[in-house]
A = this chain, B = another copy of it.
Amino acid sequence: MTVVALLSVAPVTEGSMAGEVAKAVDALEGFDVRYETNPMGTVIEADDVGTVFAAAHAAHEAVDGDRVSTVLKIDDKRTVEGPAGEKVDAVEDHLGRPARGGE
**CA separation between A53 and B79, bound complex, in Å?**
24
How often does this chain occur in the complex, in copies? Answer: 4
Expressed in whole angstroms, the minimum distance between the Cβ of A63 and any Cβ of chain B is: 9
* Structural contact, A38 and B88, CB atoms closer than 8 A: yes
Within A12-47, which residues are at the interface with B (CB < 8 Å)? 12-14, 16, 18-19, 21-22, 25-26, 28-29, 32-43, 45
Q: Check A39–B43 contact: CB distance below 8 A.
A: yes
Residues of chain A whose beta carbon lies under 8 Å from any beta carbon of chain B: 4-6, 8, 12-14, 16, 18-19, 21-22, 25-26, 28-29, 32-43, 45, 49-50, 53-54, 56-57, 60-61, 65-79, 84-85, 87-88, 90-95, 99-103
